[in-house]
């Protein structure tokens, strides 16, 4: 599967559109894919497929970067539209998103799996009809106390220290997504799983 130069890949960052959500925990995926676009010298600024996207080339492969604009719970609609149009199978759709079970600064790369309670991933699984897509989980930290509402937590912003740890994780998440594309999930997991700044 790896090394073919004629295949198309899609890297998706999950988040909510709107300035009020920009720096929230739930938008770690958006921020990671924006950083990736910077690294690749492109801008995610075309509005189509219910998302903002761009198309570039990396390692001889056609690469699409996507930020669904549907709000988190309907992210799969945007992913399905773009991947269907360009005939990209789930195994070549890499999703970057926030994970509250990991502390800020930690990453976890997986080749597939359930939604684990994440509504964006739940939507992608439902729309694409498969759990078999690689993902880069970006740690955003758990709730401050058990009684805190989960929605309030993921829509909250980071402390200064958390933000610093997150920044490093976002950089590595972008690199991890490219490693998945180039070398496969096991290599990316070996390199980045559990890594801290």
**46 strand-pairing partners:** 53
- Over residues 38-97, the pLDDT tens digits come to 999 999 999 999 999 999 999 999 999 999 999 999 999 999 999 999 999 999 999 999
Considering the entire predicted model, what is its pTM?
A: 0.95
Question: What does DSSP say about strands 61-68 and 135-139: parallel, antiparallel, or unpaired?
Answer: unpaired
DSSP 117-169: T-HHHHHHHHHHT-S---EEEEE----SSTTS-HHHHHTSBPPHHHHHHHHHH
Run of H or E residues at 9: strand 8-13
d(Cα 151, Cα 155) in Å, to the nearest integer?
6
Residues with a known catalytic role = 26
Give the 3-state DSSP-derived string for 61-99, with helices as H, strands as E and coil as C: EEEEEEEECCCHHHHHHHHHHHHHHCCCCHHHEEEEEEE
pLDDT at res. 111: 97
pLDDT band at 5 (very low <50, low <70, confident <90, very high): low
- Over residues 162-179, the pLDDT tens digits come to 999 999 999 999 999 999
pLDDT band at 4 (very low <50, low <70, confident <90, very high): low
- Over residues 112-140, the pLDDT tens digits come to 999 999 999 999 999 999 999 999 999 99
**Which numeric CATH code is attached to 8-192?**
3.40.50.1470
Whether 194 has a pLDDT exceeding 80, the answer reads: no
Whether 34 has a pLDDT exceeding 80, the answer reads: yes
pLDDT at res. 6: 73
pLDDT at res. 196: 62
């Amino acid at each position: 599967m790896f090394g073919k130069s004629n295949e198309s890949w899609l890297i998706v960052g999950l988040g909510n559109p709107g300035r009020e959500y920009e720096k929230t925990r739930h938008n770690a995926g958006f921020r990671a894919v924006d950083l990736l676009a910077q690294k690749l010298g492109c801008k995610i600024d075309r509005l189509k497929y219910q998302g903002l996207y761009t198309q570039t080339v990396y390692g001889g492969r056609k690469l699409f970067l996507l930020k669904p604009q549907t709000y988190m719970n309907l992210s799969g609609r945007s992913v399905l539209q773009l991947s269907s149009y360009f005939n990209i199978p789930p195994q070549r759709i890499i999703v970057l998103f926030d994970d509250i079970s990991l502390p800020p600064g930690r990453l976890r790369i997986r080749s597939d799996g359930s939604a684990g309670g994440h509504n964006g991933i739940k939507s992608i699984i439902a729309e694409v009809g498969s759990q078999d897509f690689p993902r880069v989980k970006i740690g955003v930290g758990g709730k401050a106390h058990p009684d805190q509402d989960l929605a309030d937590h993921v829509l909250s912003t980071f402390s200064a220290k958390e933000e610093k740890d997150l920044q490093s994780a976002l950089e590595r998440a972008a690199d991890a997504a490219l490693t998945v594309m180039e070398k496969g999930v096991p290599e990316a997991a070996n390199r980045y799983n559990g890594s801290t700044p």
